[in-house]
Amino acid sequence: MQPESRPFRFLHISIPANLLGALVTYAYLRFIDPGAVSSGRAPGAGEILYFVVFFGGLVGFANWLGNRWSRPLRRRPVPPGPAGAAIRRRAGQVPWMIAALHLVGWTLAGLIWGVMWPLIAGVFRPGQAVRSFFGISVIAGFAATAFIFFAAERQWRRQLPDFFPDGGLTGLRGVPRLPVRARLLVVFLMISVIPVTVLGVLARNRAREALAAPAAGADAIIANLLVSVVFLAVAAIAVSVVLALAVSRSVAEPLAQLEAVMVEVERGRFDARAPVVSNDEIGRLTEGFNRMVRGLGEREFLRETFGKYVSEEIRDEILAGRIALQGEPRDVTILFADIRDFTPWVEASDPREVVRDLNAYFTEMETAIRAHGGLVVQYIGDEIEAVFGAPVARPGHAEDAVRAALEMRRRLAAWNAVRMAKGQAPLRTGIGIHTGTVLAGNIGSADRLSYALVGDAVNLASRLQGLTKELRADVLVSGTTRSRLDGELPLVPLPAVRVKGRTAEVEVYALG
């Protein structure tokens, strides 16, 4: 069974809004247009009973209809498919539904008390009924409806993101859209047209009374008109402030939330999202901002992931577009490193232990390579292929490669010491280094590429790594690489060797 959420309670909004409307109604029919209702007598028991029955009926019917309509909104989580789409559409309609219920209620109130009761009481006059309906349904009803729409919208926005965790509110069909310009226009009309209309009705009624009254009575009517105008001004200002605050909050609060999330993004939190609480321009702006942040987060993830394959400097150069990856000749130094007696070790060890130790070994070796500006091009079983001088050119790449080999030797010795302390056998490696020109770039199929090096220099470096077994040296450096060094590194010359694929002998040195 689907769990239900707490239903949306809007009585704390509805009660003050309707009290505001009731005060406006009383003030209008008492001071502005008292001729719209029959006066001069106290309400009888029948009129009181009529009021209680119909008022209770309106409130009860509105509450029943609102609860029935909002029942699907209590389902959690929102189901997928068409049922969930219908619930989300209804979630977007909540403020409009609440406002519509109140507008209908105030319209019925104008008919019930402005038309039906005079008919029942036998005091019906068409002109008086129209004026009473206008005061109840138009003047008070519109003010109360506008207030409750903005108040309900503000309260409902706290729950709305639960229905749209990934956005989508702005593209939802079946939900009326109230742009920011329209909001401001509605409030402008409410605080300008209605007070002017009420002032016109007041001036007309007082002028008619003054013309029909004797001179002394006319003076009193004019004095009363001044008091009524002051009262109207104060009431209009109060209602205007309330409505202006409501509409300003409906615009300012989403922008404040968006600004707060922007601060989080500036601090590096790319998982932050601004809640989308409207389908107007601000809602579209918020959804666009969230999409942008999501894109930035994905780019940062790729950037960090890419940084696991290359050094940070190389990563930043590639992402900035300053390195051509389509393939180009580069002068580089190649380093190959291989574990000795790897097959017997694998056969005598648990596979999980082999993988764990290999990962630890590769971590130590790559740390040394990166520390000297190198890039691990690929892992081939237990072998490492690294390059110095590509994809970012480095003038001293030959010396960097040899110094990286020295650090690899030191790190391997320290790591083996830990292994032997645990009763594990140490590992031995062979490293071959050669400098030359290669073709460096992205190589592969249309769907899968890898940064690779192609050329005779790559083959020779690999051959030198293989010769470490025969020459009993853990690091061999070619004569070409030796010619690029400054002579400070300890290199021991060895007899020239002939390697497969070359007719000329290769000058080699052992790293002391």
pLDDT-derived band of residue 134, with 50, 70 and 90 as boundaries?
confident
pLDDT in tens, 187-220: 787 777 777 777 787 777 778 777 777 877 777 7
Least confidently predicted of 74-83, 95-104, 181-190, 441-450: 441-450
Chain position carrying tokens 């009993």: 472
Quickly state the pLDDT bin for 14 (edges 50, 70, 90).
Answer: confident
Length of the chain: 512
Structure-derived torsion over alpha carbons of residues 158, 164, 168, 170, reported in degrees to the nearest 10? -20
Euclidean distance between CA atoms 95 and 66, whole angstroms: 11
Asked if pLDDT for residue 5 goes beyond 90, the answer is no
Q: What is the enclosing helix (H) or strand (E) of 97? A: helix 94-111
- The band of 491, judged by pLDDT with boundaries at 50, 70 and 90, is very high
pLDDT of 3 reads 40
Average pLDDT over residues 132-145: 85
Report pLDDT for 7: 44
CA-to-CA separations, 270 to 115, 276, 318, in angstroms, rounded: 61, 17, 22
Q: With 80 as the cut, is the pLDDT of residue 311 above it?
A: no
344-391 pLDDT, tens digit per residue, is 888 888 999 999 999 999 999 999 999 999 989 899 989 999 999 988
Q: Residue 220: CB partners within 8 Å, gap ≥ 6?
A: 213
Tokens of 216: 């002394």
C-alpha distances (whole Å) from 17 to each of 96, 327, 401, 490 are 15, 72, 78, 90
The pLDDT, as a whole number, for residue 10 is 62
Structural tokens at position 159: 């729950």
pLDDT at 233 over 70: yes
pLDDT, tens only, 83-133: 888 988 998 999 999 899 889 999 999 998 888 988 888 888 888 888 888
Six token digits for residue 377:
């091009």
**What percentage of the chain reaches a pLDDT higher than 70?**
92
> What tokens appear for 25 in the block?
């109604």
Q: Compute the Cα dihedral for 231, 235, 240, 245 and give only its sign.
A: positive
Domain range 326-511, its CATH number among 2.160.10.10, 3.40.1030.10, 3.30.70.1230, 3.40.50.720: 3.30.70.1230
- Which uninterrupted H or E stretch holds 45? helix 45-70
Q: Which of 339, 375, 340, 341 is nearest to 360 (CA)?
A: 339
Q: Which of 280, 284, 279, 285 is nearest to 92 (CA)?
A: 279
Average pLDDT, the chain: 84
Q: What is the pLDDT of residue 306?
A: 64
Give the position of tokens 């989403």.
254
The upper half-sphere exposure of residue 327, i.e. CA atoms within 13 Å in the direction of its Cβ, equals 10
Among the residue ranges 48-52, 124-128, 238-242, the one predicted with the least confidence is: 238-242
For residues 201 and 33, is the Cβ–Cβ distance under 8 A?
yes
Count of CB atoms situated within 10 Å of the CB of 323: 18
Of 402, 396, 411, 381, the C-alpha closest to 464 is 402
**Does residue 1 have a pLDDT over 70?**
no
Q: Please give the average per-residue pLDDT across 447-468, as a whole number.
A: 89
CA distance 138 to 109: 11
Q: Where are the domains of the chain?
A: 11-281, 326-511
pLDDT-wise least confident of 70-79, 129-138, 234-243, 471-480: 234-243
Q: Report which of residues 476 and 17 the model is more confident about.
A: 476
The better pLDDT of the pair 91, 236 is held by 91
- What pLDDT, on a 0 to 100 scale, did the predictor assign at position 322? 65
Give dist(CA 384, CA 330) in Å, integer: 20
- The average pLDDT across 454-474 equals 94
What percent of the chain lies above the pLDDT cut of 90? 30
pTM strictly above 0.75: no
Write the DSSP string, 7-40. PPP-HHHHHHHHHHHHHHHHHIIIII-GGGS--S
